[in-house]
Amino acid sequence: MRVMKKMMMFAALGIATIGVAVAATIYHLRDDQPIGYSELPAKAQKFVEKYYAGVDVTHITMDRDVTSTEYDVVLGNGTKIEFNADGEWRDVDAHRSAVPSDIVPKQIKSYVDKNYKGDDIVELKRERNGWDVKLSRGLELEFDSAFRLTEVDD
């Protein structure tokens, strides 16, 4: 009987220890930690310096969870850029301004130039299976990974 009590106590202690460790990990990996520019991955820094030279970086947050890390950069002109853990851009939201044309895949650029003359691409987002594009007139276009238009939403 004594052995059983000791085993139960050790099991309870083990479960409690695991619970504390998980809680500490979750606290440490809390969302939206402000960070400095130098803490961005080098690839993200190069992107900002290449396409937004001279534009102030006003705010950077690192969003970590158990499976991934993302960086959100807000620029002085209102542009928001999301990078993955490797520093690759995932979303560029320039609001009312055009995103840098060099980051737009040529197939998407050609489609927009042909079908929506005069519209700027104000947001470009890489998705797992394609691309989301927002135009200055408010239309949203979705392209698959082969750059075929799959949806238009107004």
Q: Domain locations in the chain?
A: 1-30, 31-88, 94-154
| One CATH from 3.40.640.10, 3.40.50.300, 3.40.1420.30, 3.60.15.10 for 31-88 | 3.40.1420.30
pLDDT value at residue 31: 72
Q: Is the dihedral of CA 98, 103, 105, 110 positive or negative?
A: positive
| DSSP, residue by residue, 34-100 | E--GGGS-HHHHHHHHHHSTTPPEEEEEEEE-SS-EEEEEEETTS-EEEEETTS-EEEEE-TTSPPP
Q: Are 141 and 135 in contact (CB under 8 A)?
A: yes
Rounded Cα–Cα distance for residues 51 and 71 (Å): 17
Q: What is the pLDDT along the chain (154 residues), one digit of tens a residue?
A: 666 666 666 665 557 556 545 554 555 555 789 999 999 999 999 999 999 999 999 999 999 988 999 999 999 999 999 999 999 999 999 998 999 999 999 999 999 999 999 999 999 999 999 999 999 999 999 999 999 999 999 8
pLDDT value at residue 30: 55
Q: Which helix (H) or strand (E) holds 140?
A: strand 140-144
pLDDT value at residue 11: 60
Rounded Cα–Cα distance for residues 51 and 101 (Å): 10
> Residues of 101-138 as b/e, b for ≥16 C-beta within 10 angstroms?
eeebeeebeebbeeebeebbbbbbbbeeebbbbbbbee
pLDDT value at residue 10: 61
pLDDT value at residue 18: 62
CA dist 25 → 22, 69, 149 (Å): 5, 14, 42
- The overall pTM is greater than 0.85: no
The CATH code for residues 94-154 is 3.40.1420.30
pLDDT value at residue 84: 97
